[in-house]
A and B are shown apart, each in its own frame.
Chain A
């Protein structure tokens, strides 16, 4: 497209000139892509997209200005510097997305790295346009300025359309970065071979080839980099990320959808968590005559506690969660405390930060209801909380008329794992009834009621539930054939069948 018009007498078409104009186009496209990448990434990782876009674009343009101003100090050999700058842009810009993702969990002052990169790229791009105009000074000045700026601005449009429509949805940020780095480096290398004055630029050629190879390797390894940069794997902007002694807590928000991830696994979405938590709590409490004293294992987000506290009979609620940083996050952050309606700081509530397995074995008590809301049995450590040993300890904490409920993963995706929870509860002498509910962000989800007495059909339900009504409660216990009860083993400490079943089922499900 940079052929020029051979018929036009005042523009002497030549390969070098065409290549230079092509590179102006590529450089501007790439420059804008890097800028968009940095802005998107910043709003993704730091939240508040308006601020991030404004400050990133502002600093980028400012750095371009600084680069243009500095170009006056380049006295000779503009071609060499131009190629060098272009190679540097390819290297820095191309790997910027990958670098920022990888740096995010590691550095304390992420903004320093972010704006450092933005300023560096802006500076280099700013240096390029004046250099280009000077290299083309042998041509008609009026034409040159017009051509260079035209290609520059048209390139910007191409970039701004490609980015949201093609690149982000199909390549993702890391791969997009590398792709444009490759384009950058390729143009720089092409110039070295096309420009007559560039013969003998051996070190530049070598550097160009090395950078090109590096960027191609990065492009190929993007998937792996993406996995390393775990923050990149969330579908929504991350608004909080913290590694505690026990787990990685990540909160994301898109519009009114607040999501909590622990170690990369979704715990709730604020859009539909009421379905999960109403179904977790009310069928159990509604089947206890007078649930005064309630115990929750896990549930450090306080959402199950919120539902428990809706029952007027509840006089005392104890929550045992491993992670003190989790419970204090959900106690002290206004938006999160609003979501759980201050359940963790309610005067009836006692929060205990302890390992549930150990606590259950070392404590005694008579709880009218026990809500077991642990993370899914993804590994052998968490798997211990689903064993007959744990349920035996939990059973000792259950009052004679009490009722226990256990979140038991998806009976649709992992029916063997789901019913293993039931057979393990039965192995410690409890009667069980499984039920399930549809939670859009999770899919079909299951729970098991357990008690040392027959589990009644009828339950009291609270008025004003968004999901649970007396009719709905009855329906939860029906299982279609694809989720129906099947023979399953007992999950023991020394043979954690549940962890294996769970991994098998979800491994297949997620491919």
Chain B
């Protein structure tokens, strides 16, 4: 500061100070307002153009005909399971038609340079003892690798590795999904009472000799007092028990949104209890409560199912009309690549499509007004390093008690390496807090950038350390991700069964969008069709 008097100096100092404050303030404002550029990534989803074309019609008349013993319309888990069951029984004269360019339905997967990742369903719990057909499949796939004293031994690499789940609760990650610290006496009492009641339901066997809640649910007891639970919502049932602990209710809400994409006040109490009391995994080495998972989620299973009969799958074929002709079924499908309609004349057909589509292509099924579907947004976020956080280390499933999302699963949790650097986080958001139709509109109208911002901000709120580490956000929209098991759903699926040679196969018939249900219905339909066509087989059901 050469020369000048103190006054001038002070003025200079004031000026400098003001300038510094202006610069700092401006920088702060810039930092607050100017957001980092959004990561790249596409917006994908079930093919809306094809779906809407199905709704709006206008397909050309059939230009050629073909004959086959059996047609499976739909290549989701149910259709693929039907195809697997047929192949396993040596029935080979069939064809599977899939609307999309990829099979798998909501169990599809994606892949990038870092890892494969799920686009929807991402795990399968260890099978219950009653799930005979499923266990048969799991043995063939090398998931069940043997028996120990008559109890199935699961492949350790496919069982979800430790640490399975963690919950961000009161500023720390804790193991498991139910909060364990900072609980009031009321919370502890309600949690304990709820847990005890669910255990009672789980071990209850009806007078018909069936478990109260089974997976697949077709094996559940038909006792009226149990089925009566379907007359009210889960929230009403919990209220009636006097369980109002916000911690318990938040956990229940998480569970209902996780499996059903639906709020507890809209879930049937039977379905709600089924979530907590239906799982009795039968496995050696204490693996009964674990689940099976893979980097690509259930995309692994659908890929393997399709691998049983690769030559029989026609992708990009929109089945738009199913009619009867004498004892035959005529299945009209539009071949997207060839831009023409093919008529397939079959001795039997399995409609393995969501019920709202099945009723559209086959009017004799009536309507699907009582069936409602939950919309979901799924984001696959590629990150340069693993998320961390205070408390227990990264788990496979990471849930935050402070977010409306369901958190994320880690694609590389199962390996193939022990230690991973980059990974893909699959982030799930069921749009359950508004009417499904309104939520579907939002899903379509909200731009990719807006969705990315929501996903990124949700992750960064949990993991500030991921700032700058997000390489890409791939979005996936499911307008009709899964059936909603609303009260009264138990009767819904069974009232719509058509007469042979038409068979329905979809988890919509159960009302629970679970792999086990879809698989069960696929196997059931395939066995029904084989019986009709007099193909000898031993039932797996």
Q: Does A90 contact B (CB under 8 A)?
A: no
Also in contact, A76 and B161, with CB within 8 A (given A246-B419, A382-B419, A492-B156): no
Q: In the bound complex, do residue A494 and residue B6 qualify as a contact, i.e. CB atoms below 8 Å apart?
A: no
Also in contact, A495 and B286, with CB within 8 A (given A75-B6, A76-B6): yes
Also in contact, A73 and B162, with CB within 8 A (given A355-B419, A381-B418): no
Q: In the bound complex, do residue A492 and residue B285 qualify as a contact, i.e. CB atoms below 8 Å apart?
A: yes
Partner of A494, one of B3, B159, B417, B421: B159
Interchain CA distance A493-B415 in the complex, whole Å: 11
Q: Does A380 contact B (CB under 8 A)?
A: yes
Q: Does B342 contact A (CB under 8 A)?
A: no
Q: Does A383 contact B (CB under 8 A)?
A: yes
Q: Does B287 contact A (CB under 8 A)?
A: yes
Task: List 12 A–B pairs whose Cβ atoms lie within 8 Å, in order of A's numbering.
Answer: A73-B2, A75-B4, A76-B5, A246-B419, A362-B416, A382-B419, A388-B156, A495-B162, A495-B286, A496-B161, A496-B162, A499-B162
Q: A385 contacts which chain B residues (CB < 8 A)?
A: 418
Q: Does A126 contact B (CB under 8 A)?
A: no
Interchain CA distance A385-B419 in the complex, whole Å: 10
Q: B290 contacts which chain A residues (CB < 8 A)?
A: 494
Q: In the bound complex, do residue B421 and residue A245 qualify as a contact, i.e. CB atoms below 8 Å apart?
A: yes
Q: Does A384 contact B (CB under 8 A)?
A: yes
* B12 CB → nearest A CB, Å: 12
Q: Does A143 contact B (CB under 8 A)?
A: no
Instruction: Write out, one digit per residue, whether chain A residues 334-350 have a CB within 8 A of any chain B CB (1) or not (0).
Output: 00000000000000000
Q: B157 contacts which chain A residues (CB < 8 A)?
A: 389, 493
Instruction: Write out, one digit per residue, whether chain A residues 364-407 have a CB within 8 A of any chain B CB (1) or not (0).
Output: 00000000000000011111110111100000000000000000
Q: Does B142 contact A (CB under 8 A)?
A: no
Q: In the bound complex, do residue A494 and residue B419 qualify as a contact, i.e. CB atoms below 8 Å apart?
A: no
Q: B160 contacts which chain A residues (CB < 8 A)?
A: 494
Interchain CA distance A494-B291 in the complex, whole Å: 10
Near B by CB (< 8 A), chain A positions 221-278 give: 245-246
Q: In the bound complex, do residue B416 and residue A361 qualify as a contact, i.e. CB atoms below 8 Å apart?
A: yes
Q: In the bound complex, do residue B162 and residue A358 qualify as a contact, i.e. CB atoms below 8 Å apart?
A: no
Also in contact, A357 and B417, with CB within 8 A (given A389-B156, A494-B287): yes
Q: In the bound complex, do residue A493 and residue B417 qualify as a contact, i.e. CB atoms below 8 Å apart?
A: no
Interchain CA distance A246-B286 in the complex, whole Å: 32
Q: Does B163 contact A (CB under 8 A)?
A: yes
Also in contact, A77 and B6, with CB within 8 A (given A493-B157, A494-B290): yes
In this complex, what residue of A is CB-closest to B421? Answer: A245
Q: A114 contacts which chain B residues (CB < 8 A)?
A: none
Q: Does A322 contact B (CB under 8 A)?
A: yes
Instruction: Write out, one digit per residue, whether chain A residues 57-79 have a CB within 8 A of any chain B CB (1) or not (0).
Output: 00000000000001001111100
Q: In the bound complex, do residue A357 and residue B1 qualify as a contact, i.e. CB atoms below 8 Å apart?
A: no
* A324 CB → nearest B CB, Å: 12
Most A CB atoms within 10 A — which of B4, B417, B418, B421? B418
Q: B162 contacts which chain A residues (CB < 8 A)?
A: 380, 383, 493-496, 499
Q: In the bound complex, do residue B161 and residue A380 qualify as a contact, i.e. CB atoms below 8 Å apart?
A: yes
Instruction: Write out, one digit per residue, whether chain B residues 263-288 have a CB within 8 A of any chain A CB (1) or not (0).
Output: 00000000000000000000001110
Q: Does B393 contact A (CB under 8 A)?
A: yes
* A313 CB → nearest B CB, Å: 31
Q: Does A356 contact B (CB under 8 A)?
A: yes
Given A380-B161, A384-B418, A494-B162: 10 more A-B contacts, CB < 8 Å: A75-B6, A76-B6, A246-B421, A361-B416, A380-B394, A389-B156, A492-B285, A494-B156, A494-B290, A495-B285
Interchain CA distance A384-B416 in the complex, whole Å: 11
* B279 CB → nearest A CB, Å: 16
Instruction: Write out, one digit per residue, whether chain B residues 135-175 have a CB within 8 A of any chain A CB (1) or not (0).
Output: 00000000000000000000011011111100000000000
In this complex, what residue of A is CB-closest to B394? Answer: A380
Instruction: Write out, one digit per residue, whether chain A residues 132-158 have a CB within 8 A of any chain B CB (1) or not (0).
Output: 000000000000000000000000000
Q: B418 contacts which chain A residues (CB < 8 A)?
A: 355-358, 381-382, 384-385, 390
In this complex, what residue of B is CB-closest to A390? Answer: B418
* A493 CB → nearest B CB, Å: 5
Instruction: Write the residues of chain B forming the contact surface with A, with a CB cutoff of 8 angstroms.
Output: 1-6, 156-157, 159-164, 285-287, 290, 393-394, 415-421
Q: In the bound complex, do residue A73 and residue B1 qualify as a contact, i.e. CB atoms below 8 Å apart?
A: yes
Also in contact, A358 and B417, with CB within 8 A (given A73-B1, A492-B285, A494-B287): yes
* B180 CB → nearest A CB, Å: 16
Interchain CA distance A362-B415 in the complex, whole Å: 12
Q: B163 contacts which chain A residues (CB < 8 A)?
A: 380, 496
* A325 CB → nearest B CB, Å: 12
Q: In the bound complex, do residue A322 and residue B161 qualify as a contact, i.e. CB atoms below 8 Å apart?
A: no
Q: A76 contacts which chain B residues (CB < 8 A)?
A: 5-6
In this complex, what residue of A is CB-closest to B417? Answer: A355
* A238 CB → nearest B CB, Å: 23
Most A CB atoms within 10 A — which of B3, B4, B285? B285
Interchain CA distance A246-B1 in the complex, whole Å: 51
Near B by CB (< 8 A), chain A positions 468-511 give: 492-496, 499
Q: In the bound complex, do residue B161 and residue A493 qualify as a contact, i.e. CB atoms below 8 Å apart?
A: yes
In this complex, what residue of A is CB-closest to B7? Answer: A76
In this complex, what residue of B is CB-closest to A362? Answer: B416
Q: A246 contacts which chain B residues (CB < 8 A)?
A: 419, 421
Interchain CA distance A380-B417 in the complex, whole Å: 12
Q: A384 contacts which chain B residues (CB < 8 A)?
A: 161, 415, 418
Interchain CA distance A145-B63 in the complex, whole Å: 111
* B143 CB → nearest A CB, Å: 13
Q: In the bound complex, do residue A358 and residue B416 qualify as a contact, i.e. CB atoms below 8 Å apart?
A: yes
Q: In the bound complex, do residue A357 and residue B415 qualify as a contact, i.e. CB atoms below 8 Å apart?
A: yes
* B156 CB → nearest A CB, Å: 5
Q: A73 contacts which chain B residues (CB < 8 A)?
A: 1-3
Q: A387 contacts which chain B residues (CB < 8 A)?
A: 156
Interchain CA distance A492-B287 in the complex, whole Å: 10
Interchain CA distance A246-B6 in the complex, whole Å: 57
Most A CB atoms within 10 A — which of B160, B161, B416? B161
* A362 CB → nearest B CB, Å: 8
In this complex, what residue of A is CB-closest to B292? Answer: A494
Interchain CA distance A155-B227 in the complex, whole Å: 87
* B200 CB → nearest A CB, Å: 26
Q: B394 contacts which chain A residues (CB < 8 A)?
A: 380
Q: B161 contacts which chain A residues (CB < 8 A)?
A: 380, 384, 493-494, 496
Partner of A322, one of B3, B285, B286, B419: B419
Q: B159 contacts which chain A residues (CB < 8 A)?
A: 493-494
Interchain CA distance A357-B156 in the complex, whole Å: 13
* A426 CB → nearest B CB, Å: 15
Q: A390 contacts which chain B residues (CB < 8 A)?
A: 418
Q: B1 contacts which chain A residues (CB < 8 A)?
A: 70, 73-74
Interchain CA distance A385-B5 in the complex, whole Å: 73
Interchain CA distance A384-B163 in the complex, whole Å: 11
Q: A77 contacts which chain B residues (CB < 8 A)?
A: 6
Interchain CA distance A492-B156 in the complex, whole Å: 7
Interchain CA distance A272-B491 in the complex, whole Å: 74
Q: B3 contacts which chain A residues (CB < 8 A)?
A: 73
Q: A358 contacts which chain B residues (CB < 8 A)?
A: 415-418
Interchain CA distance A245-B417 in the complex, whole Å: 14
Q: A355 contacts which chain B residues (CB < 8 A)?
A: 416-419
Task: Please provide the 6 A-B residue pairs with the shortest distance between their CB atoms, ordered closest to farther.
Answer: A355-B417, A357-B418, A384-B418, A496-B162, A494-B159, A76-B6
Most A CB atoms within 10 A — which of B6, B160, B290, B419? B419
In this complex, what residue of A is CB-closest to B396? Answer: A380
In this complex, what residue of B is CB-closest to A499? Answer: B162
* B411 CB → nearest A CB, Å: 14
Interchain CA distance A127-B2 in the complex, whole Å: 15
Q: B5 contacts which chain A residues (CB < 8 A)?
A: 75-76
Interchain CA distance A357-B415 in the complex, whole Å: 9
